Structure 1
Amino acid sequence: MGSSSLLVITLAIFHIAGSSLAAGDSFTVNLLHRDSVDSPFYDHSMSFSQRVGHALRRSFTNAKRYKTNLDGSIYQADLIPDVSEFLIDISIGNPSHKVLAIADTGSDLSWIQCNPCIRCYNHTGPVFDPKSSSTYRPVACESTTCKALSYTGTTCSATKNCRFSLIYGDGSISNGTVARETVTLCDRAIRNIVFGCSFINEGIFEPSWDGIVGLGGGDYSLTSQILALVPRKLFSYCLIPYPSTNPLSNKFSKIIFGYLDFGPKIVSTPLIQKNPKTFYFVTLEAISVDDTRLNISDDSNSSNTLEKGNMIVDSGTTLTMLPPKLYDDFETAVRNAISLGTTMKNPQKQLSLCYLGSTVTKLPKVTMHFEGADVELRRDNLFMTVDDDIICLAFAPTSDILIMGNLAQINYMVGYDLENNMLLFKPTDCEKM
């Protein structure tokens, strides 16, 4: 599972009808941050500072899962459930059964808890029963689909059906049958979506969610299966700021599948294809603070030198992760540019450069320089409110793969053009979409 990387968000989703969409058509889904007051994860007994602390811990846990092989490919060494920043609300089967699941941009195969539950975690809602659905079809173990999903530990059952088995880094497990089913999103129904119907689940799973929905770049993620029906292989999202100390109801981010006219003021950078296809890689060349340019190639203490595809764009990770030396130089440059002298301690201690927000009246111009695209960061991209009037730099050092987190993507329309292998950025007021 990945970072997955669009905030802990509830994707209040949509339904795709038929086998394809008309040229130029698209559909939009509401995204709800898991720390929103409308989220089923919202705990009224927790303070804002405590919720931020949990978000930061999830972010660091997410970042540690990405490891680099000797050949430069990326793998997830310690998959852990429930660290992503989004939930997705979909329906599955016929008649439809509503499912609330983790939306994970770092996973491909989706799975939900199903009856008969041989060993299941406690769940507050009804469990999907495949026998009650007229459109449920198990995948044969000798099929191309089953063989393509071998990375999930597929085996053959006694009935010759394809079985999957996922083992997470904390010891949690999920296994069951790979099947095809109708997924309903808003007012549209998508037929023959490949997913996992899980009959054995043990470990750290929240009672309020039913499973995991994969939104990665692999062939059998929900994203890829939907885009196969869309004339232009393009999906986009627009993330609103992290819930404030006084969260309001009915505040949603958006995800759009299909055609979208980005209009003027758009910049683009190549998406670099690597193994596995799950992750979305781009090339970060430098980051600048006002006129000071800090090149990533200058970080001689890091393996993440200037190479193609050195950064993952991950909406499921809150913070942006930089190589250690580059991070130190960047923090120093930001501190010198703000030049207040007095800093604050972060109540959670995970972030090192913090201020009283009311004292920071002017920020330096900070730009992330990608191959062919300069993305300027504004206040909500650069700093995160961690307590009443305390803001901290929303970046952290890492010795592993670099990550552009979701805070750096706030109030940008971010488009994934998978036909032309380009990532698009456009400044947008996402709350007014």
Structure 2
Amino acid sequence: MFLAATQCQYIVKYGDGSSTTGTYSTDTLALGSNAVSNFQFGCSKSESGLLLNDQTAGLIGLGGATLGFTVKTPMLRSKQLPTFYFVQLEAIRVGGKQLNIPTSVFSAGSIMDSGTIITRLPRTAYSALSSAFKAGMKHYPPAQPRARGILDTCFDFSGQSTVNIPSVTLVFSGGAVIDLAFNGIILDNCLAFAANRDDSSLGTIGNVQQQTFEVLYDVGGGVVGFKAGTYV
């Protein structure tokens, strides 16, 4: 029996276009007189493609790729805000270089929020990020931000067939390092981050920065997991 609160879903796609989705489970696997404890397997609930016409009882996958989440960071909770899941941002890198931001600037924590579009940073952290990013974008002229918009580090990409930008990396507690994709850095020709009113306000990791990752909320394990390249 599977309990909804502990289910971990999967989807596997094959080279012929077939796919299977279902729920991970564990059990003891008996191989003759030998037993493998905590054997992990999937209980398929839905198949597509050629698998629909298959009369076999199941599939054994022997591929070399990992199915786990690439990086994990501790999940923090708040008695004052029990609805939210928090993570602790510790540093930001631009172009591979860590910015000179005191760790204490991030002490308020950040909410993981798929309903908020733009990531909000402590004002000191955002100022450092904006300055470093603009320094790496000197070959593009600045552009006027939209009226009443929250994005204020904008560029004019007119006439550009390709745009090259500095990398932006978020470093979380527990050693989790997240390299953002292009569309997790630039939105509407602007740096896709905004500043909080001060350093004491809660930060937010918005959905623009999450959109190329599969994000796992492991409440029981107390971690948030990130797997890159899952969505575009």
Q: TM-score w.r.t. structure 2 length?
A: 0.66
Q: Which amino acid in 2 is paired with 1:230?
A: A
Q: Supply the AA of the counterpart residue of 2:94.
A: V
Correspondence 1:7-406 to 2 at 5 A: 22=2, 229-230=3-4, 232=6, 259=24, 263=67, 266-275=70-79, 276-294=81-99, 296-297=101-102, 305-307=105-107, 310-350=109-149, 351-357=151-157, 359=160, 361-371=163-173, 372-385=175-188, 391-398=189-196, 399=198, 400-406=201-207
- Distance in 2, matches of 1:230 and 1:295, equals 44
CA distance in 2, matches of 1:311, 1:321: 9
Q: Which residue of 1 aligns with 2:62?
A: none
Distance 1:397 1:412 in 2: 23
Name which of structure 1's ranges 359-368 and 395-404 shifts more when overlaid on structure 2. Answer: 359-368
Look up the match of 2:33.
none
Q: Does structure 1 retain, via aligned residues, the 8 Å contact 2:87–2:111?
A: yes
2:127 and 2:9 mapped to 1: Cα distance?
34
Secondary structure at the aligned position of 2:105 is classed as coil
Partners of 2:217 and 2:22 lie apart in 1 by: 10
Alpha carbons 1:235, 1:415 under 8 Å: kept: no
> How many residues matched?
175
Q: 1:162 corresponds to which residue? A: none
Query: 1:278/1:235 Cα in 2 relative to 1: closer, same or farther (>3 Å)?
Result: farther
Cα RMSD, aligned residues only: 2.8
Q: 1:235 to 1:347 in 2, by over 3 A?
A: farther
CA 1:279–1:231 in 2, change beyond 3 Å: closer, same or farther? closer
Give the 3-state SS of the residue equivalent to 2:102 in structure 1: helix
Using a 3 Å threshold, how does the CA distance of structure 1 residues 384 and 397 change in structure 2: closer, same or farther? Answer: same
- Cα separation, partners in 2 of 1:408 and 1:258, compared to 1, 3 Å: farther
User: Secondary structure, in 3 states, of the residue corresponding to 2:187?
Assistant: strand
CA distance in 1 between partners of 2:9 and 2:217 (Å)? 5
Query: Partner amino acid for 1:345?
Result: Q
Q: Secondary structure at the match of 1:426?
A: strand
Change (3 A) 1:316 1:324: same
Shift in alpha-carbon separation, 1:332–1:297, aligned structure 2, 3 A: same
* Distance of 2:22 and 2:219 partners within structure 1: 12
Offset at residue 315 of structure 1 (A): 0.8
Distance 1:349 1:383 in 2: 18
8 Å Cα contact 2:95-2:167 kept in structure 1: yes
Q: Post-superposition shift, 1:231?
A: 6.1
Supply the distance in 1 between the matched residues of 2:139 and 2:222 (Cα, whole angstroms): 43
Q: Which AA in structure 2 matches 1:290?
A: G
Where in structure 2 are the equivalents of 1:403-422 lying within 5 Å? Answer: 403-422=204-223
Residue aligning to 1:191: none
Displacement of 1:258: 6.0
| CA distance in 1 between partners of 2:96 and 2:207 (Å) | 25
Contact 1:233 1:418 in 2 (8 A): no
Q: CA deviation at 1:295?
A: 5.2
Please list every run of 5 or more consecutive structure 1 residues that lacks an aligned counterpart in the other structure.
1-20, 23-228, 237-255, 299-303, 386-390
In the alignment, the residues of structure 1 paired with residue 167 and residue 93 of structure 2 have an alpha-carbon distance, to the nearest angstrom, of 8
Q: Following TM superposition, by how much is the alpha carbon of 1:411 offset from its aligned partner in structure 2, in angstroms?
A: 1.3
Whole-angstrom distance in 2 between the partners of 1:282 and 1:395: 17
Alignment partners' CA distance in 2, 1:367 and 1:235 = 28
For 2:184, give the aligned amino acid: N
Q: Is the 8 A contact 1:352 1:392 kept in 2?
A: yes
After superposition, the Cα gap between the structure-2 partners of 1:257 and 1:368, relative to the gap in structure 1 and judged at 3 Å, is farther
Contact 1:270 1:282 (C-alpha < 8 Å) held by counterparts: yes
- Corresponding position of 2:227: 426
